[in-house]
Chain A
Amino acid sequence: MFAGSTIVEALDLHNGTLVFRSKRDFAVGAHTSFKVAVPSKGSKLTSVDVEVASKRSGPGGTIYTAHVLNEAARLDFHVEDASLREAERARTWIRVMSRNLPQYRAIAVDVSATGAQLETDGPVDEGRTVDLRLDLDNYTIDHIACSAEVMWCRPALQSDRFRVGVRFAGNTPEVSRQLKQLSDSLDERAHADLHSLLDKANLMPPAITAPIAVESPASGPPENPLLLPLRAALRGYRRGLPNGSLRLTLMGDDGASQELEFVECHCFFDASPPGRGRIVAMRSSRSSPLLTSMEATHGHHTWKHYQLLDENNQSLVEIVAVSCRAGAL
């Protein structure tokens, strides 16, 4: 039986599936009819016949998904509704691994303290609990392992992938704190200007809270002229805890990747152009203009100034750390 005069709040309509919100109670499996305001039609009211497929409680009413049974199924729209989010979400790109997801992987494109939007290789059942591992390169911790409940799933626009909304659930207070911290950090990145972010990324070890005033790498080479032959390509780097180390991934001439760890890294500057990170030598010294500048601010330390050089003896990477050692990949 259709209730033709009812008006509901339509949130999303794609591929004939409508997501709507209402304070009225509709039973799953029930056929009903109502009017929705379609944004692409100047919010003109359109009649929609549906079969209710699922329901869950949400802010401002119950959230339903339904199969559209009339010609309105051809419509396609999405309404941004901030109230559906319990916390502001930050746009991001985080690799997610999970045995519960298609191909065991996803990309988190949207993260808040309470949930995330994932892009997956296939559909995921709504209501399912999934264990996620968020891999966090260049963050204060390597990863966050958490549980979440799948709230919705729909095909992604202009791709053959899927978008999946999850709500973090069943996590320990510590994990919840980590998720909140991650969300805050992503939000800060989203709103900070690029220069301050780069400054932070380059200069801030986890253990230091005040910015370090350093001169540019062009301030002069270390006094020790000895070069350690290297012959490798720089493949990436990441922060390591708990010692605040920086880990460079190098690929040697034999094609094998190895990790070189700089312990208690206090300064990092990467000037290598993308795709041209060919390093031929490493130079290190306990005395350089850069170290002098840093020690003027922070007092005497047992730091060393490392430089990774290209074939023209130009410095591609500058690092100030206590020491370096082989890391474990």
Chain B
Amino acid sequence: MNALQIEIAKSLFRLAWADGQIEQREVDLIDGLLTKIGMPLAERLAFMDEGLSVPYQGLPNLDAVLPDRESRLFVLEQLIAISFSGGHSHPKEMELLANLSTHWGVSADELAAMRQKERA
């Protein structure tokens, strides 16, 4: 498991726990995304077990492991997918997404495009 995978996984759990609870659809989505970024089965299970046990409050250090804009947009896309997996996003999740988008200089248009892509 490399640093990128760890930080992405942390950010996924941070978002999933933003509303104070975590649901099965979010678990399934996180699992799918961690699989997608190549996290091996045993590491995925162990990481998810830890992530589900205690609400993750830390701030993932995404800047260090996502140096380029393309990778940041990819992660943001995954976070949006999780946030909207139940059909709507919790205000806390929206707040976290907004802060991250602002921090990375992602425009409202780009966010809208991602949201549209996630809906499709």
Contact = CB atoms under 8 A, between A and B. Distances in A.
Interface string B1-41: 10000000000000000000010100110010000000011
Contacts of B42: 250, 258-260, 326-327
Contact of B45 (A224, A225, A226, A260): A260
Contacts of B49: 228, 282, 284, 304, 306, 323-324
Interface-centre pick from B1, B22, B53 (highest chain A CB count, 10 A): B53
A227 B31 CA distance: 10
Contacts of B31: 228-229
A258 B46 CA distance: 12
B95 interface: no
A284 B53 CA distance: 8
Which of B28, B46, B53 has the largest number of chain A CB atoms within 10 A?
B46
Contacts of B118: none
A14 interface: no
B52 A250 contact: no
Contacts of A195: none
Q: What's the interface size class on B, roughly?
A: 10 to 19
Q: By CB atoms of chain B within 10 A, which of A227, A228, A250, A282 has the most?
A: A228
A232 B111 CA distance: 36
B63 interface: no
B50 interface: yes
Contact of B24 (A225, A282, A325): A225
Given A226-B22, A228-B31, A282-B45, A326 B40 contact: yes
Nearest to A231: B41
A252 interface: yes
Interface residues of A, number: 24
A109 interface: no
B52 A228 contact: yes
Contact of B53 (A232, A250, A304, A326): A304
B91 to A, nearest CB: 23
Contacts of B52: 224, 226, 228, 284
Contacts of A226: 22, 24, 27, 52
A286 B27 contact: no
A259 to B, nearest CB: 6
Contact of B41 (A224, A232, A323): A232
B48 A228 contact: yes
A37 interface: no
A230 interface: yes
Contacts of A256: 40-41
B1 A326 contact: yes
Contacts of A230: 41, 45
A141 B48 CA distance: 30
B43 interface: yes
Nearest to B23: A226
Given A226-B52, A228-B52, A286-B53, A252 B45 contact: no
16 contacts: A225-B24, A226-B27, A227-B24, A228-B49, A229-B27, A230-B45, A232-B41, A259-B42, A284-B52, A284-B53, A304-B53, A306-B49, A323-B46, A324-B49, A326-B40, A326-B45
Closest 4 CB pairs of A and B: A326-B42, A258-B42, A326-B43, A325-B46
Given A230-B45, A258-B40, A304-B53, 16 more contacts: A226-B52, A227-B27, A228-B27, A228-B31, A228-B45, A228-B52, A250-B41, A250-B42, A256-B40, A260-B46, A282-B49, A284-B53, A324-B45, A325-B46, A326-B43, A327-B42
